[in-house]
Amino acid sequence: MFDIKWIRANAEAFDRGMARRKGEARRAADLLALDDARKAVIATLQDAQERRNALSKEIGQAKAQKDEARAQALMAEVAALKDTIQQGEKQEREADAALRDMLAALPNLPLEGVPDGADETGNQPYFGPNGSETTAAASRPAKPELSFAPRQHFELGEALGQMDFEVAAKISGARFVVLKSHLARLERAIGQFMLDLHVDQHGYTEVQPPLLVRDEALLGTGQLPKFEDDLFFTPHGDGRLALIPTAEVPLTNLVRESIVAEAELPLRFAALTPCFRSEAGSAGRDTRGMLRQHQFNKVEMVSITTPEASIDEHERMLGCAEAVLQKLGIHYRVMALCTGDMGFGAQKTYDIEAWLPGQDTYREISSVSVCGDFQARRMDARYRTAEGKMGYVHTLNGSGVAVGRALIAVMENYQQEDGSIAVPAVLQPYMGGLTSIGGRS
RNA sequence: GGAGAGGUGGCAGAGUGGUCGAAUGCACCGCACUCGAAAUGCGGCGUGGGGGCAACUCCACCGGGGGUUCGAAUCCCUCCCUCUCCGCCA
């Protein structure tokens, strides 16, 4: 959410940034016109209120002095203002709402340095703030060398009899899956491992958040008002609650409507939760396998920082997500998303794409974004310095990483010629010591 | 689900139609006293918005929203939240 004052002071930068955003025709002039109209309404209203207040005060004094005649005269005088004030209040509400609605529908402005582009083809490889392709390659696991034609995860899973899309469809329809036996445990092991990593080694506080949230929370992080179609809702009383599309929503809203002492920052939260997405706009895409499901598990990281610290925190968070793949031994690449591929609330986003041998391609497994004060303004999340100065916090979120997609990556990268799957060393403790799924033991 | 009580500044807690942005206490900040501290005294201490170069001034805010009234923390409606009792329940 933008501050209209900021737009007024930075109209040119605002227009330049919005022009880079796909499909954003909104210009500063449109918003400033609304704001001007709003101010005019306020000026008129306040003028009338000021006169009313003064006269009402006199009425109080007259009454106190038992001067009924004077009180009556004053009341008659002020009565005339009543209609003006009520009209004005109504107009102010309408003007506020008009401006607020327009501001709430605006996406965040891309940071300097974010590549321009219309879609994912405009994304660029990223090797770290001071990195190169060579330095990055040194810290990233290599592609597995498979001496046979690799299979896709669903082929492996179905052959094992531990991944069942048909029965899931009978129960819940398309885009659901049933995992059983060792694959079910592998799913749990991956989530557990990743959450432990972030909590034990990366300084995140483990959180068990609500999975059903109010519209206000979704407005705060930016899923509403524009992306209602992507969400599942359930009726609740006279209203509704949404199933979280990502734990970013409850984790970020942890600081909503609050003022955090600067000394408390950064706050780092991590959670392992199911996520629910209607995938309304992706009919026909990735229909095979469990790459794109209505329900999936994800470890999410959220950081709340000062404005000064958010850019460094972004790099740090990317590192936390990368560590997962490094420890799992899965080859990946990092892409800096272009303006056309970034999410609504992001100033800058890195995607981590895991190598999937079965698909012979890279697929997104994590997305790490810095949002600046965009969400903080929507949530009214502020911080106060030791000197008492207040400002909006900066928020960041990143997957660390998507559990279902990590399962796919493990399966495809650790598959053996006989269709069994080796269990990565770091997961074995979480698998009761199991070293292979489907192999002869 | 039924019955009841409540939501006021960082905290505690007055205030049931008029000069109340709101007593008082605690906390906090400054000053005085002190070698220093405590205690004490004096002063300060909310947020958002409009106007103004500025000193400043005006408007709004007592859980959220709407209404009644010349005037609302106070009355009415509605929503949210908290607590107590009953019922149900993993």
Could you list the protein residues whose CB lies below 7 A from any atom in strand B?
Answer: A 5, 39, 42-43, 45-46, 49-50, 52-57, 59-61, 63-64, 71, 75, 78-79, 81-82, 85-86, 89-90, 93, 237-239, 390
Mean pLDDT of A150-165: 97
Both tokens assigned to A222 = 């930016």
Tell me whether residue A313 is annotated as binding.
Answer: no
pLDDT tens-digit profile of A398-435? 999 999 999 999 999 999 999 999 999 999 999 999 99
Domains of chain A: 4-104 (1.10.287.40), 120-437 (3.30.930.10)
The burial class, CB within 10 Å (0-12 / 13-18 / 19+), for A129 is exposed
pLDDT tens-digit profile of A347-359? 999 999 999 999 9
Q: How confident is the model at residue A218 (pLDDT cuts 50, 70, 90)?
A: very high
Nucleotide at minimal C1' distance from the A388 CA: B29
| Cβ proximity of A179 and A293 under 8 Å | no
Nucleotide at minimal C1' distance from the A382 CA: B47
Give percent of chain A above pLDDT 90: 71
Which of A58, A158, A262, A364 is catalytic? The answer is A364
Distance CA A412, CA A330 (A): 10
Instruction: Mean pLDDT check: name the lowest of A80-84, A100-104, A136-140, A209-213.
Output: A80-84
| Cβ proximity of A306 and A188 under 8 Å | no
pLDDT tens-digit profile of A127-137? 999 999 999 99
Nucleotide at minimal C1' distance from the A78 CA: B70
Q: Is the pLDDT of residue A441 over 70?
A: no
Tell me whether residue A399 is annotated as binding.
Answer: yes
Closest CA to A370 of A355, A356, A349: A349
pLDDT at residue A316 in the model: 98
pLDDT at residue A289 in the model: 94
For residue A82, the SS3 value is helix
CA atoms within 13 A on the CB side of A315: 9
Distance CA A190, CA A401 (A): 9
Long-range contacts of A278-285 (CB under 8 A, 24+ apart): A278/A229, A278/A230, A278/A231, A278/A232, A279/A175, A279/A230, A280/A229, A280/A230, A281/A229, A281/A230
pLDDT at residue A440 in the model: 62
Distance CA A347, CA A369 (A): 7
Q: Is A378 noted as a catalytic residue in this protein? A: no
Q: Is A367 noted as a catalytic residue in this protein? A: yes
**Interatomic CA–C1' length for residue A314 and nucleotide B88, angstroms:** 48
Distance CA A429, CA A310 (A): 35
Q: Is A364 noted as a catalytic residue in this protein? A: yes
DSSP category for residue A292: S
Instruction: Mean pLDDT check: name the lowest of A15-24, A55-64, A193-202, A245-254.
Output: A55-64
Q: Is A214 noted as a catalytic residue in this protein? A: no
User: In sequence order, which ranges of A151-284 are alpha helices (DSSP H)?
Assistant: 153-160, 165-172, 181-201, 215-221, 248-252
pTM of the model: 0.93
Q: Is A384 noted as a catalytic residue in this protein? A: no
Mean pLDDT of A152-165: 97
